[in-house]
Structure 1
């Protein structure tokens, strides 16, 4: 029997989001019905609302979520009603050429639910990142639901589903930060601070946080930054070089995704250093670099997709790090809100007032 639940819908480009009643079907083969307990308000949801991702309106927003399994469809193994899960927007298929080569974090055919959730009039909804979890219940592919320790508070656990995983993975999985490395992170929002936390947990000796907002730099110190640079009035490249004996850092992480921050990260690397791009650029962004510098500086430039994570491996690990007191997930939660406060949360995000607002149901 279909389920009528409250959810946050972006009806048209740029319009304020609305709480509407939607219809969620029972799970079919390979699917799971999840009762959502918490869902973080991520910048990607704002991109969807503004039509910057696709124009397939109306959207069911929300993708950074934790909850419990309510029902599973035919053929689902490893999940049962009552299981506590974090939802992943990448669920490796196991059969594409990337998965067959042992690189499931680059899966080209990631699984999502096969049937749409709809408005009451039957209009299909496009789920943000294949999830749609600003809702009392959501339907996902079973592989998107990753079991984790139920001792983790939902509002903290939810953040593993996107921002924290993206930032932590950018440092640990993509950047391969190791003991003694020096790291610079440009942009100290949720993703950037997760990169800082990941770098510290993996043994970085020096972690330099770069931002234009002193409030965010103060937060970065909470997550382990050893040095901070306010780039509003300071050349961040020169400042990072001054903090590294003139050499630059081993790994520079751009968690903003603007052409200027990309160029800064490129230039603040040490010889043969690594640039990791995890901030999401706008579709019209371009960057120009002197080809001789690309060649002569050596090293590498790598994009980090979802922190190059394998959710079934990385989600439980990060939850355990949180429960052991090693990863301060609670520090990312600025406020908890209700479904009807998501539009206000977008405004706070735009003003830089929050790391994460988290909808709690």
Structure 2
């Protein structure tokens, strides 16, 4: 089979031919991959800016959907032919964090055990996954839509953290990559209309118009101009999807008293922001981090069903599909910002 594999030591990404993986654990499931997304985290990994498996060459890809081909001896809940999406994240199920319902903080599992970051992932024709990380798709969700289950599960976790978000709140979303666009979809689905989206790439802003939300779409420079012209140009809720420290720092200055900032985008580990503790005190600011998706996959599947083609049409979201052998082209498109997201169609 084909697999897009990465060697951290050399920062080398290469399309290779490898054997179809075999089920060696009775609780394993062999999945034939249909769609596999390229995440911003993947780009950070490829550039050597995000922790991953440094011990061996492995297959990237932690966002994917597919069809069950074979199941291990212990499997009772899945069968060949089932359409599925896979949660790449898991904990050790034994530590304090796992037992307290926070497996994303697990030091043994957590990021250190993620499919597509430490274990072989979905940028391949086939992948073996543990049963407890595989989720059966309702008939109403297509495999194409299901490729977005993992990012939407992270969004669902972020929504829980930053809630309540009251209808009528003045909301700013910074960054119109795929995560920003999915937040736009979720906010519109939930009835929010007083929303502004800030994005420096005007091509991405133009793409966002296809979602027909009626939201205000502006550049960061226009955002600064409005702030300069009106000191009361402030927001009740700001969701940063850029992971860009200067954008996050600017967002803090735009928070209204009692406002909430959700830092959703993944910044590089060396990134830094500056914030005055007095402002946190005076405004009673609330700043939330969001780390992946503990137990939020079922909520994500609910969002997928509710959103449907109205919101999840690839063309409207700025998503382009590529073959595995077009990976260099896909990465270049993402870096240039000519698309919101690249997804491998296998």
Instruction: Please state which band the TM-score falls in when normalised by the shorter chain.
Output: 0.7 to 0.9
CA RMSD of aligned residues (A): 2.9
The match for 2:39 is 42
Check the 8 A contact 1:31/1:113 in 2, yes or no: no
The match for 1:350 is 335
Q: Does 1:144 align with 2:103?
A: no
The match for 2:64 is 65
Gaps of 5+ in 1: 117-125
Is the partner of 1:235 in helix, strand or coil? helix
Check the 8 A contact 1:184/1:253 in 2, yes or no: yes
Check the 8 A contact 1:147/1:316 in 2, yes or no: no
Deviations 1:163-219 (A, max 9, x none): x4434553x323222322221011100011111111222222311100111121223
Is the partner of 1:253 in helix, strand or coil? strand
CA 1:139/1:111 → structure 2, altered by over 3 Å: closer, same or farther? Answer: farther
CA 1:309/1:111 → structure 2, altered by over 3 Å: closer, same or farther? Answer: closer
Check the 8 A contact 1:173/1:309 in 2, yes or no: no
The match for 1:121 is none
Offset of residue 73 of structure 1: 2.2
Deviations 1:201-252 (A, max 9, x none): 222231110011112122334443611221146517717x95xx92521210
The equivalent position to 1:183 in structure 2, one of 171, 174, 178, is 171
Is the partner of 1:327 in helix, strand or coil? helix
CA 1:203/1:27 → structure 2, altered by over 3 Å: closer, same or farther? Answer: farther
The match for 1:296 is 282
CA 1:194/1:213 → structure 2, altered by over 3 Å: closer, same or farther? Answer: same
Where does structure 1 differ by over 6 angstroms across 4 or more consecutive aligned residues? 111-114
Check the 8 A contact 1:159/1:329 in 2, yes or no: no
Q: Does 1:246 align with 2:242?
A: no
Mapped partners of 1:347, 1:286: distance in 2:
26
Offset of residue 358 of structure 1: 1.6
Check the 8 A contact 1:190/1:332 in 2, yes or no: yes
The match for 1:274 is 260
Check the 8 A contact 1:165/1:194 in 2, yes or no: no
Deviations 1:16-67 (A, max 9, x none): 5323324512141332211111111222222222222236152311121100
Residue pairs, 1:309-348, within 5 angstroms: 310-323=295-308, 325-330=309-314, 331-332=316-317, 334-348=319-333
Gaps of 5+ in 2: none
Mapped partners of 1:236, 1:139: distance in 2:
52
Aligned pair count reads: 340
Stretch of structure 1 that moved more, 325-334 or 349-358: 325-334
Stretch of structure 1 that moved more, 89-98 or 38-47: 89-98
Stretch of structure 1 that moved more, 209-218 or 223-232: 223-232
Normalised to the residue count of structure 1, the TM-score between the two structures is 0.83
Mapped partners of 1:112, 1:269: distance in 2:
31
The equivalent position to 1:173 in structure 2, one of 136, 160, 166, is 160
The match for 1:263 is 249
